[in-house]
Amino acid sequence: MILLIVCLTISVTTSAQVAKYPNFFFEILRSRRHNPPPVVFLKTHKTGSSTVQNLLFRMGEKHGATFAFPSYSYQFSYPDKFEADFVDELPEGSSQFDILCSHMRLNMEELKKVMPPNTIYITILRDPVQTFESVFSYYTFSIPAFSLAKKAAETMENRSALSVFLGTPESFWDPKSPENGLGRNPMSFDFGLDLQHGNMAWSANLTALVETFHLIMIGEHFDESLVLLRALLKLELEELAYVHFNTRSAHSITSLDETTKARIRTWNDLEMELYDFSLKLFQKKVEEYGAERLNRDVDLLRASSSRIRQKCVAGKNVSPEELEESVRPWQPDSATILGYSVQGNLTKEEQGFCMRLVLPELQYHAHLYFKQYGRAMRPVPTE
């Protein structure tokens, strides 16, 4: 409820602050080429997906795309599987939705009811060990299984909540509770996969589902993934500039020894299969693109992004109390999320581009929603 109130509060204030800065870079790039195809981005948890979402937000705003937004708040009724009815109405004057990139639990059949037939489907995965550590840190107090482990750890000396949980995870995790969905195989849960062990159809379902995506980006090969995304969506190099979102402070990160890593892999065994299978598909796409060509284009991307970051970013990994509300990331109870401050020696036009580059998810979502519908997001109905 606190998060929802924050979301509703910033929807008007942030939109007004962002809108007052014309986006000069957007105007330059708009004339260069045709609009990109419709896109669905499965925004997986704690994989670098907010960074990709920001890129898609900027791309969509630049081209005047119509976003498929949730009817309420900023997620599609998560953790329920996606349904077409979760999407807000098509705004007046629009003939179709062009981009869907808010958090959801995947249901491909329902998605196809919403998006055009020529839609490009993309997502991102990350090493399951690092993903699970990040999920545990970020959602310690919102996933019941993690909260129980945290309480148990408070009675022990020199034991982190993560190590306590992994010692006997079944004693904390209730698979029947939807709120525990991210507590095991979180990326697979986002994919909407049946996570019951012993299901012989799981591998077949995994293969069929993964192969419906035009691109599965890999967090450990982020820049290479962006180059492949650029080819898929025919983007300009400048459109791929980015900063990493949801970076945690050092005290919010749990160091992992080899024993802990092994326990995470065991607990997230289906996740390992999903990641390994997707990594092989990614490597195949790299081979098709050409390794030498890819390395050259990655160098160009990094040089371009570095120039833009130097132009835009005054400080990175800035603590939340030092940031203005318009660029302050939402803070979970269990971790400190760092952000970015924008350079002060910019023209009004440059400020518009740079502010969008560092704008956190909730603020950018609220800004685009208000811009598209002329009103703030609606609160989730109470029973």
Average pLDDT on 85-93 reads: 96
Q: Is the Cα dihedral 279, 280, 283, 284 positive or negative? A: negative
CB-CB contact of 308 with 357 (8 Å): yes
pLDDT of residue 35: 83
CB-CB contact of 68 with 92 (8 Å): no
Structure confidence by residue, pLDDT tens digits, 332-367: 999 999 999 999 999 999 999 999 999 999 999 999
pLDDT(24) > 50: no
- Between vectors from CA 188 to CA 123 and to CA 181, what angle results, nearest 5°? 120
Tokens of 256: 């992992």
pLDDT(78) > 80: yes
Closest listed residue to residue 373, CA positions, set 165, 91, 114, 109: 91
Q: Which residue has the tokens 């997906």?
A: 49
pTM of whole model > 0.75? yes
Distances (CA, A) of 24 to 61, 62, 231: 12, 10, 24
- Residue 91 CA to residue 97 CA, distance in Å, equals 9
- Residue 189 CA to residue 199 CA, distance in Å, equals 15
Structure confidence by residue, pLDDT tens digits, 144-200: 999 999 999 999 988 999 999 999 999 999 998 989 999 999 999 999 987 655 455
pLDDT of residue 208: 80
CB-CB contact of 244 with 361 (8 Å): no
Structure confidence by residue, pLDDT tens digits, 249-305: 999 999 999 999 999 999 999 999 999 999 999 999 999 999 999 999 999 999 999
Helix (H, G, I), strand (E, B) or coil at 70: strand
